[in-house]
Chain A
Amino acid sequence: MKPDATARIPISTLPRADRDHLQGPIDAPIRLVEYGDYECPYCGEAYPVVKAIQERLGNRLCFAFRNFPLVNSHPHAQHAAEAAEAAGAQGRFWEMHDLLYENQDALEDDDLTEYALKLGLDSDRLISQVLAGAHAARILEDFRSGARLDVNGTPSFFINGRRYDGSPEFEDLLAALTADRD
């Protein structure tokens, strides 16, 4: 029973077209997976770095984001993750993902509603999904997959399937992404 429950979790260090939020082509030569928490300050620091990397590498990069909210440390992380997933259900995951990272100090439920309005989403639907935990199962699935992959904090990156333990600075991350071509 329980082993089966964990066996169902899609555990992969590579982006998966069937479930991940992706930017860039799934068959791109360079693949980056991030496990992140919207309230984590280190993820906030990594956010513009990833953006700059995406700009530099263009279609050579496929980027996937998975949720790893540390809810005891970060009281707003779960609702923020719910908001991004709920925006995703309305087709605007990445826009919400970006807004959350650009406004890490304003992640109250009212702020989430405001971001939904800003993105032209159905904000009533979004916030009711957030409050109901409509996407909690998916967020937990992300979290559990990370636990199995030895994600030991946030942000954790996997480059072409291998965990990246170097610094999240632009030059270092770029060097790792362009050197590590299995």
Chain B
Amino acid sequence: MNATTRGASSRSPSNGSTALPAGTPAPDFALKSTPDQTVRLSEFRGRPVVLAFYPADWSPVCGDQMALYNEMLSEFQEFGAEILGISVDGAWCHAAFCRDRKLHFPLLADFEPKGEVARLYGVYRSDDGTSERALFVINAQGVVHWSYVSPVGVNPGAAGILSALEELQTQEEGT
């Protein structure tokens, strides 16, 4: 059997990966969210941002992960947080995927130059030509507060994101 304990406190660091660790300023970027709209990370300065890198639209596990976050938008919004999905798929592909899965948050196209933003965050998989399944919670000041790289076949869920957002909120309230 293959049971693992992944309770609310399971928040492993970036398990030896090259992903940008907590405390690093999050590199700014501008990527297309639709064929004619561009999203810039620094637009969200002043509130937390969740960056969810995933390998590809349409693969079943990704669908589950993005579908899960789609269901949790109100949880993220309670923390004033914005969630952005990012993969190397193009904007038209994202548009079709969003429509099919009824996603209500932006998917960004890290398409040209391919995987550039994934590389900036240390989560590009050059063997596959896709990104890791990696999560970053960026604080209101634009600094990485928490990052996590999941095994590429495993949907990381949302517990780590929610704990990180809760920590940020507690910090804000304490200042």
Contact partner, A150, options B6, B70, B166, B170, Cβ 8 Å: B6
| Docked complex: B62-102 residues within 8 A CB-CB of A | 64-65, 67-68, 70-72, 75, 78-79, 101-102
Cβ proximity bits A142-173 to B, threshold 8 Å, 1 near / 0 not:
01100111111100000101111110000010
Given contacts A2-B166, A73-B102, 8 further A-B contacts (CB under 8 A): A3-B169, A3-B170, A5-B78, A72-B104, A147-B157, A153-B155, A166-B2, A175-B1
- 24 A-B pairs whose Cβ atoms sit less than 8 Å apart in the complex: A2-B79, A2-B166, A2-B169, A6-B162, A70-B67, A70-B71, A72-B71, A72-B102, A143-B71, A144-B75, A147-B75, A147-B159, A149-B6, A149-B7, A151-B157, A153-B67, A161-B5, A162-B4, A162-B5, A164-B2, A165-B2, A165-B3, A166-B3, A180-B3
Measured in the bound complex, the distance between the Cα atoms of B6 and A127 in whole Å is: 37
Query: What are the residues of chain B within 8 A of A150 when measuring CB–CB?
Result: 6-8, 10, 156-160
Q: A149-B159, A166-B1 are in contact. Are A72 and B101 (CB under 8 A)?
A: yes
The answer on a CB contact under 8 Å between A164 and B3 is yes
The answer on a CB contact under 8 Å between B1 and A152 is no
Measured in the bound complex, the distance between the Cα atoms of B68 and A58 in whole Å is: 34
Query: What are the residues of chain A within 8 A of B70 when measuring CB–CB?
Result: 72
Number of CB contacts from chain A to chain B under 8 A: 87
The answer on a CB contact under 8 Å between A152 and B5 is no
Measured in the bound complex, the distance between the Cα atoms of B3 and A159 in whole Å is: 8
B: interface residue count bin:
20 to 34
Query: What are the residues of chain A within 8 A of B7 when measuring CB–CB?
Result: 13, 149-150
Decide yes or no whether A179 CB sits under 8 A from chain B.
yes
Q: A73-B101, A147-B75, A147-B158 are in contact. Are A152 and B65 (CB under 8 A)?
A: yes
Give B residues with C-beta under 8 Å from A: 1-8, 10, 64-65, 67-68, 70-72, 75, 78-79, 101-104, 155-160, 162, 166, 169-170
The answer on a CB contact under 8 Å between B104 and A162 is no
Interface size on A, residues (CB 8 A): 31
Query: What are the residues of chain A within 8 A of B2 when measuring CB–CB?
Result: 164-166
Contact partner, B162, options A73, A148, A163, Cβ 8 Å: A148
Measured in the bound complex, the distance between the Cα atoms of B1 and A5 in whole Å is: 36
Measured in the bound complex, the distance between the Cα atoms of B72 and A10 in whole Å is: 18
The answer on a CB contact under 8 Å between B166 and A6 is yes
**Shortest Cβ distance from residue A150 to the other chain B in the assembled complex, whole angstroms:** 4
| Docked complex: A57-99 residues within 8 A CB-CB of B | 70-73
Query: What are the residues of chain A within 8 A of B75 when measuring CB–CB?
Result: 144, 147
Measured in the bound complex, the distance between the Cα atoms of B67 and A42 in whole Å is: 15
